[in-house]
Homo-oligomer: A and B are copies of this chain.
Amino acid sequence: MKHSARLTQLIDALRALPGVGPKTAQRMAFHLLQEGRSGARALAGALDSALESVVRCRRCRMLTEDELCSICSAPQRDASLLCAVESPADVVAIELSGSYRGRYFVLMGHLSPLDGIGPEQLGVRELEAILNEGTVREFILATNPTVEGEATAHFLGELATRRGIRASRIAHGVPIGGELEYVDGGTLAHALAGRQSVT
């Protein structure tokens, strides 16, 4: 069964979405061209206008439509705290937890020399400019607890300590609500090593 040219093109284009394989893409295309036509029109328009107006924050590289994102431009945020994360989704997750009042720096990835991602690609020059301002007192490393994330955290931590700024890593351990029995060994080892005295 050969699809018509434009239908094939749409199915291929839908595969640009993360986690969408050929079968899901076909299902999406059929849906968009049947009952979802108004949704499809809205999606095409939203893509166009977002591509045109969503840029990166000049300071922290978060996605925004202004020169500075809503966090960087909010005066009530604590400028002495800076938190490095790998992606905009991480900013959203931390903000949803409601437990952080400082600012962010979005790396848009992690160090990965094999993929050609070095300090330059992670915006280290912009980061150093912020650290050089002298307002940051603590630099929180919230990269993912993967090999690449740890390496990136290590590298970024050096940048801060070299300038006499305290660098800290978010805690790793047993998730709240999790059961010890089902937690993997690596996490348990971290939880034990990071134990804190109960007073």
Q: Which B residues are in CB contact (< 8 Å) with A2?
A: 70
| A147 at interface by CB-CB < 8 Å | no
Docked pose: A70 CA to B2 CA in angstroms: 8
Which residues of chain A from 67 to 110 have any CB-CB distance to chain B below 8 Å in the complex? 70, 87-89, 91-92, 95-96, 108
Q: Which of A4-12, A128-136, A168-176, A179-187 contacts B (4 or more CB under 8 A)?
A: A4-12
Q: Determine if B44 and A9 form an interchain contact, defined as CB atoms under 8 angstroms apart.
A: no
Docked pose: A42 CA to B47 CA in angstroms: 10
Which residues of chain A from 1 to 35 have any CB-CB distance to chain B below 8 Å in the complex? 1-7, 9-10, 12-14, 16-19, 24, 26-34
How far, in Å, is A149 (CB) from chain B's closest CB? Answer: 17
| A189 at interface by CB-CB < 8 Å | no
| A64 at interface by CB-CB < 8 Å | yes
Q: Determine if A43 and B47 form an interchain contact, defined as CB atoms under 8 angstroms apart.
A: yes
How far, in Å, is A68 (CB) from chain B's closest CB? Answer: 12
Which residues of chain A from 110 to 148 have any CB-CB distance to chain B below 8 Å in the complex? none
| A46 at interface by CB-CB < 8 Å | yes
Q: Determine if B53 and A92 form an interchain contact, defined as CB atoms under 8 angstroms apart.
A: no
Q: Determine if A4 and B70 form an interchain contact, defined as CB atoms under 8 angstroms apart.
A: yes
Q: Which B residues are in CB contact (< 8 Å) with A37?
A: 51
| A36 at interface by CB-CB < 8 Å | yes
Q: Determine if A6 and B53 form an interchain contact, defined as CB atoms under 8 angstroms apart.
A: yes
Q: Which B residues are in CB contact (< 8 Å) with A87?
A: 30, 34
Q: Determine if A50 and B17 form an interchain contact, defined as CB atoms under 8 angstroms apart.
A: no
